[in-house]
Amino acid sequence: MTAVTYTGLELVRNLRNRQYFVLSLGLPVSLYLLMAGPRRDVTDLAGSGVSAPLYYLTGIIAFATIAAMLAGGARIAGDRVAGWTRQLRLTPLPARAYLRGKLAAAYMMALIAIGLLDAAGAALGVRLPAGVWLHMTGLVLIGLIPFAALGVALGHALGVEALGPAVGGLTSLLAFVSGTWFPLGHGTLADLAPYLPSYWLVQASRVALGSGWPVQGWLVVAAWSAALTAAAAYAYRRDTRRS
Amino acid sequence: MSSIRTGAGIVARGLEKTFRTPRGEVHAVQGIDLAIAPGEIVALLGPNGAGKSTAIDLLLGLTPPDRGEVTLFGRPPAAAIAAGEVTAMLQTGGLLRDFTVGELVRLVASLYPAPRPVGEVLALTGLDQLADHRTQRLSGGQAQRVRFALALVAGARLIVLDEPTVAMDVEARRGLWATVRVAAAHGTTVLFATHYLDEADAHADRIVLLAHGRVVADGPATEIKARVGLRTIKATLPGADLAALHRLPGVTGAERRGDAVVLTCSDADRAVRALLAGFDPRDLEIAGADLERAFVALTADPEARRAA
C-alpha cells in the first residue's frame, strides 16, 4: 500500500515540474516534425524498406524514451543531494519501493512521449494496424530496460552537475551511432551498432515490415539489461555505504 | 511487544568507526557505550568533530560500525526501522521539491504502520497555515518545522533529532520542546544532538558528552556540572583584599569585577561560612558552574586533561 502511494506521488511530482515535463516532451516532438515533415512522402527511406515518417518515428521514440529513462533514473541524484534518500532510509519504505517509484515515473514519461510522438506520426500519415503498433511499442518498452538500469546507475554514481551533460551527451551519442537520424548503411558503424541496445529500439520499426527483432536483438538487449542492472546495483551499494 | 520487556530503547556497545580520508585515518568514534531507556530525553553534546554525527549514523544503522553493535528496542537498527519504530530529523534531511507541506507530511505518514494524525501534527508544528505551500518556497525556519513534522508524524518509538532548532525562532523552539516533552511522557525515546548548551541543560533528562569520539560524561546536567566540582560565589564587596579572599577555605580563585568579587569554589558551603564570618558581603549569589564551564573542562584535549 505504502509503496503504491509512493509511486503515485513520484508520478505527481514529475507532472508538477513543468520545466522538466515540457522540455522532455516538447523537444522530441518538434524535432520529429522538423525531420520527418519535409520527407513525409518518402516511402522507402535509404533502402530501409520503411517510410520516412515511420523510420523517423521509431528513431525519435528511441531518442525521447532513452532520454526519459536516463533523466528519470538520474533524478535519484537530486533526491540524494537534497538528503531525501537518506531520510527515506530511516523510514519503513523498502529501497526497492523507492526504486520502483522512480522507474514507474520514468516509464510514465516514456509512455507519454510515445503517445505524443505517435500522434505526431499519425499527423504525418503513419498508419499501423493495431497489432503491429502493439508489437512495436512492446519492443520499445522492453528495449528500454537497459536504459532504466543505466539511469539508476548514473543517479547513484554522478553528482547533479554532471547529470545534464551525461544524460544529454549519452542520449545524443547513442542516437547518432544507432541509426536514429538516418539508416546506417554499410561500414564500421553499421557493423558495431547492432551490439548496442539503442540500435534495437530504432529497429522496432521493422515490425512494420513483419520482421521484428531477430534473435540477436533479444540477446543484445538481454545482455545489456543484465550488465547495466549489475552496474546499478553496484552504484547503489557504493553510494549508500559512502553516506 | 517483547522488545518492551527488554526495557531498553537504544543499546550501543563498543562502537568504533574509522574513516579513511586522503589525509589519513580519522578515528571518528573510538568506543561508545550507551544505554537509553524508553521515554528518556537524552542530549548528545560535544564540540565540532567530537563524533556526534558519526555516532548518530552508527546508532541509526546508516553507517556500519567497524566494531561493536547497536540494538534499537532489542533488534538491529535496520529491523527497527523496517518496523517503523524509528524516525529522525537529520541535519541534511531534505524536503522533496514539487510537493506541498501537507502532501509531504501525509506521504511520510503513509510509510509508517501507526502514524500520528496529519492534522494534529500540522497543528502542533504550527504548519496548518502552510499546508498548501510548495516545499521549495519555505523559509529556513519553516523548512525546519516541516522536518520536525515529518519526524513527529511517524508515531515512532524513537525520535532522533540532529540540531533540531537551528534557524527556528523562539516560539517555534518552545513549541518543539513542549511537543518533545509530551511525546517522551507517552514513552517515546528522544535523542537529540545540539551545540546549544542551554538547550541540552533545559530539555534533556540526561546529557551524553562526547569528545574525541568517546563518551567523557554521561548523566543529568546537574551531575555533569557537579562533576567539574566548581561553584561560584558572587558578592558586592568594595575594596576587598583579593589575596585574603583567595585564602578562605574552599576557595580556589578570586577575581574583582568592579565593586563585586567572584570566588570560584571547590567547597562553596565552607567558603560562604568563612566569607560571612570574616567579611561583610552584600547581594550574595551562589551559582553552580554553568554547563559551558563543565563542557570546556570535560571536552578538553585528553593529554591536557591528564596533565591537569
Q: Please tell me the distance from the alpha carbon of residue B55 to that of residue B44, in angstroms, as a whole number.
A: 9
To the nearest 10 degrees (0 to 180), the angle between helices A52-81 and A160-177 is 160
- Measured between CA atoms, the residue of chain A closest to residue B62 is A243
Q: Please tell me the distance from the alpha carbon of residue B58 to that of residue B192, in angstroms, as a whole number.
A: 14
Parallel, antiparallel or unpaired: strands B86-89 and B10-21: unpaired
Task: Write the burial class of residue B48 (CB in 10 Å: 0-12 exposed, 13-18 middle, 19+ buried).
Answer: exposed
Residue found by looking up cell 507541506 in the block: B101
Beta strands in chain B (DSSP E): 10-21, 24-36, 41-45, 67-72, 86-89, 158-162, 189-194, 206-211, 214-219, 231-236, 251-257, 260-265, 282-288
Contact A28, A67 (CB under 8 A): yes
Report chain B residues whose CB lies below 8 A from the CB of A6: 107, 110-111
Q: How far is CA B293 from CA B60, B101, B216, B252, B266, in A?
A: 31, 41, 14, 15, 14
Long-range contact set of residues A17-24: C-beta below 8 Å, sequence gap at least 24: A17/B97, A17/B98, A20/A71, A21/A109, A24/A64, A24/A67, A24/A68, A24/A71, A24/A109, A24/A113
Nearest to B72 by CA among B154, B149, B130, B156: B156
A interface mutation test: which of B60, B66, B81, B107 has the most A CBs within 10 A? B107
Range in A32-46, B57-71, B235-249 with the lowest mean pLDDT: A32-46
Q: Do A79 and B82 touch (CB under 8 A)?
A: no
**A241/chain B closest Cα distance in angstroms:** 7
Q: Do B93 and A86 touch (CB under 8 A)?
A: yes
Report chain A residues whose CB lies below 8 A from the CB of B84: 91-92
A81 and chain B in contact, CB less than 8 A: yes
Confidence at B102, pLDDT banded by 50, 70, 90 = very high
Q: Chains A and B: how many Cβ contacts under 8 Å?
A: 74
Q: Please tell me the distance from the alpha carbon of residue A168 to that of residue B188, in angstroms, as a whole number.
A: 48
pLDDT(B6) > 50: no
pLDDT(A138) > 70: yes
Mean pLDDT of B71-93: 89
ipTM of the complex: 0.74
Report chain B residues whose CB lies below 8 A from the CB of A82: 94-97
Which part of chain B has CATH 3.40.50.300? 2-220
User: How many separate domains does chain A show?
Assistant: 1
Q: Please tell me the distance from the alpha carbon of residue B254 to that of residue B241, in angstroms, as a whole number.
A: 10
Parallel, antiparallel or unpaired: strands B86-89 and B158-162: parallel
Nearest to B67 by CA among B123, B14, B7: B14
Q: Please tell me the distance from the alpha carbon of residue A103 to that of residue A145, in angstroms, as a whole number.
A: 10
Question: Edge-to-edge strands of the sheet including B67-72?
Answer: B24-36, B10-21, B67-72
A82 and chain B in contact, CB less than 8 A: yes
Task: Look at residue A224 in the predicted model and tell me its pLDDT.
Answer: 92
Task: Look at residue A142 in the predicted model and tell me its pLDDT.
Answer: 93
B interface mutation test: which of A11, A12, A19, A91 has the most B CBs within 10 A? A91
Round the average pLDDT of chain B to a whole number and report it. 86
Per-residue pLDDT tens digits for B40-73: 999 998 888 888 888 999 999 988 899 999 999 9
Q: Please tell me the distance from the alpha carbon of residue B260 to that of residue B277, in angstroms, as a whole number.
A: 18
pLDDT(B259) > 70: yes
Q: Please tell me the distance from the alpha carbon of residue B224 to that of residue B203, in angstroms, as a whole number.
A: 15
A95 and chain B in contact, CB less than 8 A: no
Nearest to B265 by CA among B255, B257, B279, B278: B255
Task: Look at residue B7 in the predicted model and tell me its pLDDT.
Answer: 62
- Answer left, alpha or beta for residue A119, where phi above 0 means left and psi between -120 and 50 means alpha: alpha
Of B84, B90, B103, which is closest to A86 when you measure between CB atoms? B90
A243 and chain B in contact, CB less than 8 A: yes
Q: Do B110 and A79 touch (CB under 8 A)?
A: no
Q: Please tell me the pTM assigned to this model.
A: 0.75
Report chain B residues whose CB lies below 8 A from the CB of A1: 110
Of A86, A92, A243, which is closest to B111 when you measure between CB atoms? A92
Q: Do A91 and B96 touch (CB under 8 A)?
A: no
Q: Which residues of A6-38 are buried (b: 16+ CB within 10 A; e: fewer)?
A: bbebbbebbeeeeebeeebbeebbebbbebbee
Task: Write the burial class of residue B185 (CB in 10 Å: 0-12 exposed, 13-18 middle, 19+ buried).
Answer: exposed
Q: Which three cell numbers stand for residue B134?
A: 510548495
- The amino acid at residue B126 is G
**A158/chain B closest Cα distance in angstroms:** 18
Task: Look at residue B306 in the predicted model and tell me its pLDDT.
Answer: 47
- Measured between CA atoms, the residue of chain B closest to residue A240 is B62
A19 and chain B in contact, CB less than 8 A: no
CA A173 to chain centre: 13
User: Is B2-220 assigned to CATH 3.40.50.300?
Assistant: yes
Confidence at B301, pLDDT banded by 50, 70, 90 = low
Nearest to B193 by CA among B296, B92, B302: B92
Of A84, A86, A91, which is closest to B111 when you measure between CB atoms? A91
User: Is B230-288 assigned to CATH 3.40.50.2000?
Assistant: no
Q: Do B96 and A13 touch (CB under 8 A)?
A: yes
Helix (H) or strand (E) run with residue A66 in it: helix A52-81
Q: Please tell me the distance from the alpha carbon of residue A10 to that of residue B299, in angstroms, as a whole number.
A: 46
Round the average pLDDT of chain A to a whole number and report it. 85
For A124, the domain range is 2-242
pLDDT(B237) > 80: yes
Confidence at B5, pLDDT banded by 50, 70, 90 = very low
- Cross-strand partners of B261: B235, B256
Contacts of B232 (CB under 8 A, 6+ apart): B262, B263, B264, B265, B268, B286, B287, B289
Nearest to B84 by CA among B157, B169, B179, B182: B157
Rounded to 5°, the CA angle B168-B171-B176 comes to 70
Q: Do A91 and B154 touch (CB under 8 A)?
A: yes
Question: Edge-to-edge strands of the sheet including B282-288?
Answer: B251-257, B260-265, B231-236, B282-288
Residues in chain B whose beta carbon is closer than 8 A to a beta carbon of chain A?
60, 62-64, 81-84, 86-88, 90, 92-99, 103, 107-108, 110-113, 150, 154
Task: Look at residue B2 in the predicted model and tell me its pLDDT.
Answer: 38
**B23/chain A closest Cα distance in angstroms:** 17
Report chain B residues whose CB lies below 8 A from the CB of A12: 98
Nearest to B264 by CA among B300, B307, B293, B236: B293
Q: Do A90 and B81 touch (CB under 8 A)?
A: yes
**A99/chain B closest Cα distance in angstroms:** 15
